[in-house]
Amino acid sequence: MTEFAIKVLLVEDNPGDVRLLLEILQETPPDQFTVTQVDHLEKAINLLTAESFDVILLDLTLPDSMGLDTFLKLYRRASAIPIVVLTGLDDETLTLRAMQEGAQDYLVKGKVTGDLVSRSLRYAIERQRAEHKIREQAALLDITTDAISVRDLQHNIVFWNQGAERVFGWRAEEAIGQNAVQLLYRKSELQLKEAINAVMEQGKWFGELNKITKSGQEVIVESRWALVRDDAKRPKSILTVDTDITEKKQLEAQFFRAQRLESIGTLASGIAHDLNNILTPILAAAQLLPLKLKNLDDRSQLLLQLLETNAKRGADLVKQVLSFTRGVEGKRMVLQTRHLIAEIEKILQETFPKSVTIYSNIAKDLWTVSGDSTQLHQVLMNLCVNARDAMLSGGLLTLSAQNQWLNETDVRMNFEARVGPYIVISVADTGMGIPTANLERIFEPFFTTKDLGKGTGLGLSTVVGIVKSHGGFVTVTSQEGTGTEFKVFCLR
Ligand SMILES: Nc1ncnc2c1ncn2[C@@H]1O[C@H](COP(=O)(O)OP(=O)(O)O)[C@@H](O)[C@H]1O
Ligand SMILES: [Mg+2]
């Protein structure tokens, strides 16, 4: 017996068959197998708890078990060990069933030769190992969060891992057989053509793609494609590995936007300071001149007044610009936001056109925040005036406020947000909405879509400046033609 001998468990009760098989198994080449033989199924099962074997040779007709049952009982105990079944000449159906249930091979009694047994047993062991490896690899494919799929050259999906289910929402049984182009791409045909050309020519492709999930949402993926060839080296299918980078992209865009805002702010604050220095003497002169020139005629007095009011307006504007760049220092007090919002609502009821219906919904137990009431007042007024301007033919303005604890998941998508208690004040309108292209820019100082003289483009940048200095942030969602909602998050 060599140490590489294959350990066979022979489960067979017929003494004649046992003798024959043992003889065959000892045949050429010698020492290939070491055989342990038992004559009952129960003995085999007991033995398996104590000892391990490389392969089992199983007669399906035993004193304590008959037919397919024999196989199933043993298989349940020893599914990791390959089983070769021994059947009679006329047992074709039974043999087939056993194979379907997981038997690795079969031998027909009376037709067994040394070669046949040797080959069958080795083949069974090999096959079991290969299957085990494939199962292991398949499990690995499912552990990764990447979406892995394989499609044939007509783009019919033939493989779809759990990562793909997670990223795209389609279950494997829904995706397999579908056309990948129709399932996952809606408008990025150009990108797709480029990728297909590259993979066919160079065997691989790498790049970013926009794909669509089952629920119709867009996902941005970092995609790696490889051409798979058959044994004859002919292109056979395309393997795709997609990493979801949607969140990363969004955060990146947010960050760039914030950076641009900051640089515009710095620029604006420089100009504002200069303007301030220019306006101060003009204002002083406009106020001093009437005192010096007591006998001025009415018309000249009016002109000086005009000078003064406009210099003051200029100074106010400058102050506003400075207030969002510098992050206004104001007096901080503990504020009952409920009262503040109620006050705003009252002003709106009195001053807004009757075509705008005002509705408010404020949580009773709203937390207090530490802040400057004049500034927060200004924040809400700016948002409400914008809402009014967006509803020229009337609509609904909803003011609401509630407490919200932001958790890890909430803050992941917003780099200004922190985990913790916030009060959220929302100003929602049913107005014209904001085109997606403008959403990027509305918080920039001087960005306005309003006619000259109607808008300064400073409202929202002031809002952001003030809210930021209160440790908060502002979000906006909008749909053209439907309405807009601004949410102000203030740290408790
Ligand atoms: N509720 C809203 N509905 C539609 N558009 C809005 C709304 N709020 C702001 N906007 C857009 O954002 C721009 C900038 O707003 P803002 O900074 O307040 O400046 P202004 O109101 O002076 O134009 C507006 O010109 C408008 O295009
Ligand atoms: Mg405005």
Q: Cα(383)–Cα(381) distance, rounded to whole angstroms?
A: 5
Count how many Cα atoms sit within 13 Å of the Cα of residue 298 in the half-sphere of its side chain. Answer: 0
Question: Rounded to 5 degrees, what are φ and ψ at 456?
Answer: -105, -20
Name the H helices within 245-404. 246-292, 298-326, 337-351, 373-390
Q: Residue 112 carries which side chain, given as an amino acid letter?
A: V
Q: Are 64 and 42 in contact (CB under 8 A)?
A: yes
Where do the structural domains in the chain lie, given as residue ranges? 6-141, 144-244, 249-326, 333-491
What was the pLDDT predicted at 1?
A: 43
Per the model's pLDDT, the better-predicted residue between 332 and 274 turns out to be 274
Estimate to the nearest angstrom the gap between the alpha carbon of 313 and the chain centroid. Answer: 48
Q: Which CATH architecture has domain 333-491?
A: 2-Layer Sandwich (3.30)
Q: Are 285 and 260 in contact (CB under 8 A)?
A: no
Q: Summarize pLDDT for 206-262 with one digit per residue, the tens.
A: 999 999 999 999 999 999 999 999 888 899 999 999 999 998 888 888 888 888 777
Of the candidates 264, 268, 272, 303, the one whose C-alpha atom is nearest the C-alpha of residue 286 is: 303
Q: Which CATH architecture has domain 249-326?
A: Orthogonal Bundle (1.10)
Q: Cα(107)–Cα(84) distance, rounded to whole angstroms?
A: 7
Ligand 1 atom, smallest distance to 429 CA: 1
Mutate which of 264, 383, 386 for ligand 1 pocket (most atoms within 8 A of beta carbon): 386
Residue of the nearest CA to atom 25 in ligand 1? 448
Residue 442 CB less than 6 A away from ligand 1: yes
Count how many Cα atoms sit within 13 Å of the Cα of residue 137 in the half-sphere of its side chain. Answer: 7
Q: Are 397 and 388 in contact (CB under 8 A)?
A: yes
What was the pLDDT predicted at 166?
A: 94
Q: Summarize pLDDT for 371-391 with one digit per residue, the tens.
A: 888 888 889 999 999 999 999
Altogether, the residues listed in the chain come to a count of 492
CB atoms within 10 A of CB 485: 17
Q: Please state the rounded mean pLDDT for residues 417-438.
A: 95
pLDDT band at 405 (very low <50, low <70, confident <90, very high): very high
Distance 447 CA to ligand 2 centre (A): 10
Same-fold call for 144-244 versus 249-326:
no
Q: Are 147 and 191 in contact (CB under 8 A)?
A: no
What was the pLDDT predicted at 325?
A: 65
Q: Are 484 and 477 in contact (CB under 8 A)?
A: yes
Residue 445 CB less than 6 A away from ligand 1: no
Taking each helix axis from N to C terminus, what angle separates 459-469 and 298-326, rounded to the nearest 10 degrees? 50
Residue 459 CB less than 6 A away from ligand 1: yes
CATH number of this structure's domain 6-141, picked from the four choices 3.40.50.150, 3.40.50.2300, 3.40.50.280, 3.40.920.10: 3.40.50.2300
Q: From edge to edge, which strands make up the β-sheet containing 83-87?
A: 33-38, 6-11, 55-59, 83-87, 105-108
CATH topology classification for 144-244: Beta-Lactamase (3.30.450)
pTM, full prediction: 0.58
